[in-house]
Structure 1
Amino acid sequence: MGDEVETATPAPRHPRSWSRLTLVTWAFCIVVTASMLWSPYVAFGVPNRSLHLVLDSIDSCVALFVAYLLHNRFLRRGRLQDWLLCEALVLLGLASLVVTYVVEDVVGIRDGRVNVWLPLTVRVVGALAVLAAAIVGDRIGPTRLRRWTLLAPLVLIVGVAAVLWVAGDRLPIALGEDLTDDSAIEPLLAGHPLLLVGQAVGALSFLAASVMVARQAARRNDELLRWLAPACTLAGFARLNYLLYPSLYTDWLYTGDVLRTGCYVLLLVGALRELQRYWSAQTQVAVVEDRRRLARELHDGVMQELAYIRVESSMLPDQTASKRQITDAAVRALDEARAAVNALGSVDDEPLGYVLHRAARELAARYDVHLEVDVDDSIAADRDQRHALVRIMREAVVNAVRHGGARLVRVRLVGAAEGDRRLTIEDDGSGFDIVAGSATGGYGLVSMRDRAKGLPGSMRVESAPGEGSTVTVTW
């Protein structure tokens, strides 16, 4: 039997770094906030309740949409991080529009107490949930949490509202009437100390989460986390701006409102990219499954029939003139079918060295030949190139064994000069006359040359009677 060949271990894939987008967002927010503080010429405030309501509606819809996406991610992966982010966005989405609208427009409370403390509490809890999600990372959460996806935020909101309602007039006034001032030049820094503390806690939570999430996105190559990191940066600086201009509870629009909407825009981009990647992966899975189905059909159908023909032809009387031709044709067709099955069942990201090792091991076992394989595992090739190179190697090895009687075949894959890559198949067979072989027009050589040109590359054959042969493919 042929020698066993060790398989190459696939090289680990290096994750892309997404930190640049987060750093750019930090720099942008710092410039905006600094300009707001120290620029004496630019008015940052616009009194427009309708536009305020439009932005709140957009923020709420995006938050709830991304929360739905995260809920489905949790159902598929079971990560606690996805569940916490889902809860945070539900809370933030409801606080942006529903809570404020119900309290102020439906119930009619605008005394600066419940209509401020209730949304503030919900938003602070949402910010802390985002920070908790960044801390837990990719830990797996209990499946029973899916029952609380919507129930937990509703219970929290109702509970906080009940406590604040019972407190009633004993609650401190969060915001005074000085916010009615139409000056948009100087920061107000107004409100109850607890209001300012709440905004500060929210800002710190979002900013800390942005740093941690950016690192996780680089490690896990997660598209949604990639956009979540700068979104948290915008949300954190929005809370910082609310410390200076608490426009969140007024009809005024300030930079904090714009930054907050920018946060949800980035979340929407991340959600759409996540959906695009998901459906692309689903398409690839469907293609792989179909290829494997075809491979099974070939293996269980065509290959079995070819194996039967080979066995039956070998049992024909030796006097039969076409016995050898039939047997050789069956063996060659069986080899082609095996190559097709291997190609259909292979994984797209298999390293070239691993594929060559596997094909060499199969050839060594089938033809009882000693194969020496030396490959540079750092050499990469796409799927079509891997298939072409394996077919060239198989054809060269089969020709060396059948026609040249080779007992030793060496396969080498190395990097050549000027960035080229080179596959060499060398045997100790009887060799052949290259001029005569080219004149006869053997299909095997023609097929190998065509595959080499399609890499794109070139093939060179060196041989002489009694001196073996060498096939070199350069691409």
Structure 2
Amino acid sequence: MSNAVTRARPGTGGRTSAVTMLIAAVGVVVTVALFAAGQRAWEYRSPASHLVLETVDACVAVLVSYLVYGRFRRSGSRQDLLLLQGFASLGLANACLALTLAQTEWVALLGLWLPPPLRVLGALLIAAAALLPRRSARSAWRRWLFAPLLGVVLVIVLVVLFQRENLPGSEQVAGGFRPPISSHGHPALLITQVVSLLAFAAAAVAFMVEARKRDDVLMRWLGPACALGALARANYLIFPASGPDWVYSGDVLRTGCYFLLLVGAGREISRYWGAQAEAAVAEDRRRVAREMHDGVLQELGYIRSELAAFASVDEERVGRIVASSDRALDEARQMLVALGRAGDEPLADALERAVEQIAERYGVALALELDASITADTEQRHALVRVAREAVLNAVRHGQAERIRVRLAQEGKSRLLEVTDDGTGFDPARRTSGRQGFGLTSMRERAEALPGVFRLESTPGDGTTVQVRW
């Protein structure tokens, strides 16, 4: 992802705000209900379930960290750097649960006291990524990405080891059921929960605002995820966990936060590979266009110029060949233009460009009535442009038209493309063979494949009307 700010697509920022506020409202209602019912209304003793939740959270945090690492390698932005370090801190904190299963006392103590400061650090880094201006990070950070995190971990380990005699163990930190917000064991745990709550809440609001400004898939999911993260910390404050054997509402809400992060990561990966595929297709289209310009077009132009030398031998036959060469050149040029255009070009713009080229080449008056609000997918747009071009070319070459009107409109539940000319017209029942007959058949087949309905009206001496309704 580049450093440039990309505008959010219409509606995406509003949907993100709605989802974030909905999640926050539901979480608040659930928390109030649990508070009113008491802690024992929702608690479940299962060491295995607690271990599964922590493992899932750690795996998701590592996955998101790896994803953000790729973003940082491409963008070099400070925001992605802070997100990377924040998610890495959260993943490391969740992974530390395995240390509490160790038989060695000081290792188990590390498993108890390492996660809280790491979670606070992760929450603060994510909040910083949301609140600080988006700027480029120094190039040196590409080499020393995790140096600050490793330094903090080392400091925490040293403090815990030197102060292990003064730090309570798991049985002292939370010794069973307590009334809400009455006692929380060690005050350091209360401080970490409060700081994490404030950091996640600030990040949720900031990411919600950021989603309105930029079309960034991951940012749109960070807001709701941080809202759940803040609610999880609020639940931990009201219902402090009694240890790794119990599962509480805070654990479930925290896992919900990581689930939203997983969804955001999946959407980000999907968009990235979609963009890669589109870039590969665009590059291939440009390559084909270059080859066609330097090969086929040059040869057709040479054939067209050399035919003039044979005009005195058989002028009528040479004229037909010259006309065929002109048509081939026109088709080749149209293919070049189509190859060089973006795949999401609006239908009205594509029709205007296609028919104006023909009108300018043959010097006919052109009236356009194109409704820009009408959309069509790539295949439909291609078919409609080909029908419009064929109708205009037939009007010019076979009908000697001087004025052509092209209309694109919405009529009820259907859409209409109409090409009308003031040419000589013809009798459709006695359709001529050759190029014109094949052209009419091709237009009909393209219209029916939309799926749509093809209609042709023509009277000798009174012009022709071609309609496609889909």
Structure-2-length-normalised TM-score: 0.86
- Do 1:179 and 1:250's aligned partners in 2 also have CA atoms closer than 8 Å? no
Gaps of 5+ in 1: 1-11
Answer yes or no: is 1:228 the counterpart of 2:222: yes
CA RMSD of aligned residues (A): 3.3
User: For residues 53 and 424 of structure 1, do their structure 2 counterparts lie closer, same or farther at Cα, with a shift above 3 Å needed?
Assistant: closer
**Corresponding residue number in structure 1 for 2:85:** 87
Answer yes or no: is 1:297 the counterpart of 2:291: yes
Deviation, 1:358, is 1.8
**Corresponding residue number in structure 1 for 2:3:** none
**Corresponding residue number in structure 2 for 1:282:** 276
- Do 1:351 and 1:377's aligned partners in 2 also have CA atoms closer than 8 Å? yes
Residues 437-446 or 260-269, more deviating: 437-446
Q: What is the identity, as a one-letter code, of the residue corresponding to 1:259?
A: L
Q: What is the identity, as a one-letter code, of the residue corresponding to 2:227?
A: T
Deviation, 1:40, is 4.7
User: For residues 329 and 300 of structure 1, do their structure 2 counterparts lie closer, same or farther at Cα, with a shift above 3 Å needed?
Assistant: same
**Corresponding residue number in structure 1 for 2:300:** 306
- Do 1:295 and 1:344's aligned partners in 2 also have CA atoms closer than 8 Å? yes
**Corresponding residue number in structure 2 for 1:412:** 407
SS at structure 2 position matched to 1:431: coil
User: For residues 253 and 72 of structure 1, do their structure 2 counterparts lie closer, same or farther at Cα, with a shift above 3 Å needed?
Assistant: same
Deviation, 1:72, is 0.3
Q: What is the identity, as a one-letter code, of the residue corresponding to 1:108?
A: E
SS at structure 2 position matched to 1:405: coil
Q: How many residues align?
A: 460
Structure-1-length-normalised TM-score: 0.85
Identity %: 44
Answer yes or no: is 1:398 the counterpart of 2:393: yes
Alignment of 1:12-411 (within 5 A): 13-16=9-12, 17-40=15-38, 42-98=40-96, 105=102, 108-109=105-106, 118-136=114-132, 139-162=135-158, 177=172, 179-181=174-176, 183=177, 189-217=183-211, 219-247=213-241, 251-320=245-314, 321-411=316-406
Q: What is the identity, as a one-letter code, of the residue corresponding to 1:127?
A: A
**Corresponding residue number in structure 2 for 1:427:** 421
SS at structure 2 position matched to 1:148: coil
Distance 2:379 2:145 in 1: 46
Answer yes or no: is 1:463 the counterpart of 2:458: yes
- Do 2:417 and 2:469's aligned partners in 1 also have CA atoms closer than 8 Å? yes
Distance 2:444 2:305 in 1: 32
- Do 1:15 and 1:220's aligned partners in 2 also have CA atoms closer than 8 Å? no
Deviation, 1:20, is 4.1
Structure with the bigger RCO (C-alpha within 8 Å, sep 6+) is: 1
Distance 2:303 2:365 in 1: 27
Distance 1:337 1:179 in 2: 78
Distance 1:189 1:33 in 2: 19
Distance 1:97 1:419 in 2: 57
- Do 2:46 and 2:245's aligned partners in 1 also have CA atoms closer than 8 Å? yes
- Do 1:44 and 1:184's aligned partners in 2 also have CA atoms closer than 8 Å? no
- Do 2:174 and 2:243's aligned partners in 1 also have CA atoms closer than 8 Å? no
Residues 64-73 or 223-232, more deviating: 223-232
SS at structure 2 position matched to 1:460: strand
Distance 1:52 1:40 in 2: 21
- Do 1:45 and 1:184's aligned partners in 2 also have CA atoms closer than 8 Å? no
Distance 1:38 1:378 in 2: 53
- Do 2:416 and 2:468's aligned partners in 1 also have CA atoms closer than 8 Å? yes
Q: What is the identity, as a one-letter code, of the residue corresponding to 1:28?
A: V
Distance 1:256 1:25 in 2: 15
Deviation, 1:375, is 1.6
Deviation, 1:111, is 10
